[in-house]
Chain A
Amino acid sequence: MEQMRNVSPDAESWALTLKQRWWAISKPFSIFFNAAILLLIALIFFLPFTWMLVSAFRENPQLNLAFSNFWLGNFVQVFTGNTAIWIRNSLIVATGATVTATTTAFLAAYPFARFNFPGKTLVLFAMLLSMTIPLGVVMLPTFSLARSMGLENSLVGVFLIIAGRQIPLSVWVLKEFIASVPMELEEAAWIDGASKMATLWRIVFPLTAPGIAVMGMLTFLVGWGDFVVSFLLISSEDLIPISMGIYKTSLEATAYGQLRINYGVQTAISLIYMIPPIVLYLLFRQHLIKGMTAGAVKG
């Protein structure tokens, strides 16, 4: 950039026309080149899905791509099974976690964004650090804690644990969003006589909606995808979520020799399993991008 500035006006306009010409020539190539890279990436990302898409509609598929006759039997089996209950349970977990984590994190983010108080940095840093603890290695203490609180075999227990684990990230992100809301807006409302809670609800909340959408969606995805927490806490047949349901449809080898992996049913359920996240993304896409933009600018 430095050297560009030193070019004389003449040369500059010449360079401009040259550049325009170059662009005219290279534009088709550039379009082609860009589109090609994009499509290549799209293709590569799509390939792993093909087996699932094909096998869900085939009879007794194995772990390779085989185009036998189109067959809907897997779905019949899926819908005569417990799938509806599994979906319900997963929805309870995901929604519960989303509402709990997002609400509490939003409320908590407000003081963190607006006030200085002793220990603030410490708590924020502790929260960040706590995110580094993988669930996999604190599973047993988490489990025994939940048991001692009477949360075993309860969907509430599952979503509270998930929500608790989502709080640090949510607080961090929402804090940034709230900080970006001009304080004058709030102050104006106070002068008009609005209470502080009312201001929070009517001024701050709508302006941070994109951020809330982002965190809500992330938490929903975590809750919807959860396997580990449910596996630990849930033992009743009618409380298991769909992730465990998929697992149940597969039986693996034992020393004893039993085996039946029904890939047809597994892929069929998997397809159904993927619908809510997709719908959610389509619904919140605009918010998500807006939210990310706002969050990213703050960085």
Chain B
Amino acid sequence: MRKANWLLLLALPAFVLWAIFMVGPFVRGILMSFTNEALVGPNAMNVHFIGLENYRRLLSDADFYNSVKVSSIFVFGSAIVGQVGLGLLLAVLINRKRKIYGKISWAIALTTAIVILAWVTPAAVTGLTWTSFLNKYGVLNQIIGVFVGSEVAYFWLAKKPMLSIILANIWQGTGWSMLLLGAAIESVPHEVNEAAEVDGATSWQRFRYITLPLIMGPILVNLIFITIWTYGVFEVPYMLTKGGPAGKTELLTIYGYQQAFKYFDLGYGSTVAVGILVITMVLAIIYYRLLGRQAWNK
């Protein structure tokens, strides 16, 4: 590390952009959270500071707690179990250093391509695709119907709304984890694995005791990003279930969005945003502890 010099100025454009378009609106939002600002109704003409009123309302709002719960289930199911778990499995399966790679390279190429395809699919298309897939007379039921031998009309989006949005999010997000963790596994030195193989370690043992510890760092980094991203996911679940039925999939983002855009209650909507930040911040700090300082300062 060198000492700082004028090259620090290089950071200025990025810093300005970030401060204006990311920090600025949020700070503005925090200020709004202390007001009754609204865009429709009588409050629109009579904006004033109301102190902690919105926060008091937030803490006694059953819908908010419901959203915290819903969001957490969603993050756990789709990010931690789904994307990281499935991503890791795929990363192992497509690993170029495995003995049988050559024999099944066509299957690997195909799978990688399709999983990546899902990952690059824009949200608008994902929403449409999954709406049709899980529809009452949609593709999934048609396929099940073929196996069962009779028409199936199970409405996934209504009966299993949480599962539906989790599956859609796993589908969309796994590609990233697969790429990242795949790259991490490939960077594990070949020799270590070979030595262990000579020692007679089974492939599971090699994975469990050699590869996994070595890629723990990337896994944790990946977990952080995916957790944070998933707390912020909005578009696809909103397109699929609009937060319903009866609030069963009302993620924090959907809840905040509805306060801000359906009711145009900016004050309270901003308070929800602050709530989301606090929750993700707590998680970030937990991960930060898990990772240890050195990973950050490297």
> Which A positions have Cβ atoms within 8 angstroms of B?
1, 4-5, 7, 12, 15-16, 19, 23, 27, 30-31, 34-35, 37-39, 41-42, 45-52, 55, 62-65, 100-101, 103-105, 107-108, 110-112, 114-117, 121, 123-142, 144-145, 160-161, 163-165, 167-171, 176, 179, 196, 221, 224-225, 227-228, 243, 246-247, 263, 266-267, 270, 273-274, 277-278, 280-281, 288-289, 292-293, 295-299
A163-B298 in contact (CB<8A) = no
Given contacts A48-B130, A124-B296, contact A289 B183 (CB under 8 A): yes
Known A114-B2, A115-B3, A132-B231: A64·B137 in contact at CB below 8 Å: yes
Q: Which of B125-150 contact A (CB under 8 A)?
A: 125, 128-133, 135, 137-140, 142-143
Q: Is the CB of A132 within 8 A of B125?
A: no
| A160 neighbours in B (Cβ, 8 Å) | 17, 21
User: Would A130 and B18 count as touching, CB distance under 8 A?
Assistant: yes
Q: Are A144 and B28 in contact (CB under 8 A)?
A: yes
Question: Taking the complex as formed, is B20 at the interface, i.e. its CB lies under 8 A from any CB of chain A?
Answer: yes
A41-B111, A127-B18, A141-B28 known; A34+B93 contact, CB < 8 A: yes
A128 to B165, CA, bound (A): 26
Q: Would you mind naming 11 contact pairs between A and B with Cβ atoms under 8 Å apart?
A: A39-B107, A42-B115, A107-B11, A108-B10, A108-B15, A112-B11, A115-B4, A134-B234, A141-B32, A289-B182, A297-B184
| Cα-based distance from A292 to B91 in the complex (angstroms) | 12
Q: A1-B199, A292-B179 known; A135 and B187 CB under 8 Å?
A: no
Q: Which residue of B lies closest to A179 (CB)?
A: B298
Which residues of chain B in 103-122 are interfacial with respect to chain A, using CB atoms and an 8 Å cutoff? 103-104, 107-108, 110-111, 114-118, 120-122
Tell me, rounded to whole Å, the shortest Cβ–Cβ distance linking B295 to chain A. 7
- Chain B residue contacts of A144, Cβ below 8 A: 28
- In the complex the two chains form, is A132's CB within 8 Å of B184's CB? no
**Chain B interface residue bracket vs A:** 35 or more
Instruction: Indicate if the CB atoms of A225 and B124 lie closer than 8 Å.
Output: yes
Over the window 1-14 of chain B, the binary record of Cβ atoms lying under 8 Å from chain A Cβ atoms (1 yes, 0 no) is 11111011011111
Which residues of B does A touch, CB under 8 Å?
1-5, 7-8, 10-15, 17-18, 20-26, 28-29, 32, 86, 90, 93-94, 99-100, 103-104, 107-108, 110-111, 114-118, 120-125, 128-133, 135, 137-140, 142-143, 171, 174, 179-184, 186-187, 196, 198-201, 205, 209-210, 215, 217-218, 220-221, 225, 228, 231-235, 252-254, 256-257, 260-261, 266, 269-270, 272-273, 276-277, 280-281, 284, 295-298
Nearest 3 Cβ contacts at the A-B interface: A164-B21, A299-B217, A134-B232
Q: Which B residue's beta carbon lies closest to that of A51?
A: B132
Whether B228 lies near A1 (C-beta < 8 A) is: no
The answer to whether B220 and A299 have CB atoms under 8 Å apart is yes
B111 touches A167 (CB 8 A): no
Extra A-B contacts (20), CB below 8 Å, given A16-B200, A160-B21: A4-B196, A27-B100, A31-B100, A48-B129, A51-B138, A100-B17, A103-B13, A115-B5, A116-B1, A126-B23, A132-B281, A134-B273, A140-B270, A141-B24, A165-B22, A169-B225, A170-B14, A289-B179, A296-B180, A297-B218
> Which of B25, B29, B205, B252 contacts A1 (CB under 8 A)?
B205
User: In whole angstroms, what is the CA distance A182 to B153 when docked?
Assistant: 61
| CA A203 to CA B250, docked complex, whole Å | 49
| Alpha-carbon separation in the docked complex, A164 to B16 (Å) | 9
Contact B120 A277 (CB under 8 A): yes
Residue pair B199, A4 in contact (C-beta under 8 Å): yes
Chain A residues with CB below 8 A from B111, complex form? 38-39, 41-42, 45
What does DSSP make chain B's interface, helix, strand, loop or mixed?
helix
Pick the residue among A129, A163, A221 that contacts B284 (CB under 8 A): A129
Out of A103, A110, A168, A228, name the residue touching B22 (CB < 8 Å).
A168
A281 x B120 contact (CB < 8 A): yes
- Establish whether residues A104 and B253, one from each chain, have CB atoms under 8 Å apart when the complex forms: no
Q: Is the CB–CB distance between A115 and B205 below 8 Å? A: no
Contact A281 B138 (CB under 8 A): no
Q: Are B181 and A296 in contact (CB under 8 A)?
A: yes
- The CB with the most chain A CB atoms within 10 A, among B10, B142, B233, B296, is that of B10
CB atoms of A135 and B234 under 8 A apart = yes
Docked Cα-Cα span, A289 to B109, in Å, equals 14
Determine if B143 and A296 form an interchain contact, defined as CB atoms under 8 angstroms apart: no
B234 touches A136 (CB 8 A): yes
Q: CB distance B297 to A121 under 8 Å?
A: yes
How near does chain B come to A31, taking the closest CB pair, in angstroms?
5
A45 touches which of B115, B125, B209 (Cβ 8 Å) = B115
Q: Which residues of B contact A52 (CB under 8 A)?
A: 125, 128-129, 132
The listed residue (A15, A63, A138, A167) touching B135 by CB distance below 8 A is A63
Q: Is A39 touching B179 in the complex (CB atoms < 8 A)?
A: no
Report the separation of the CA atoms of residues A142 and B24 in the bound assembly, to the nearest whole angstrom. Answer: 8
Using Cβ atoms and an 8 Å threshold, which residues of chain B touch A108?
A: 10-15
Q: Which residues of B contact A39 (CB under 8 A)?
A: 107, 110-111
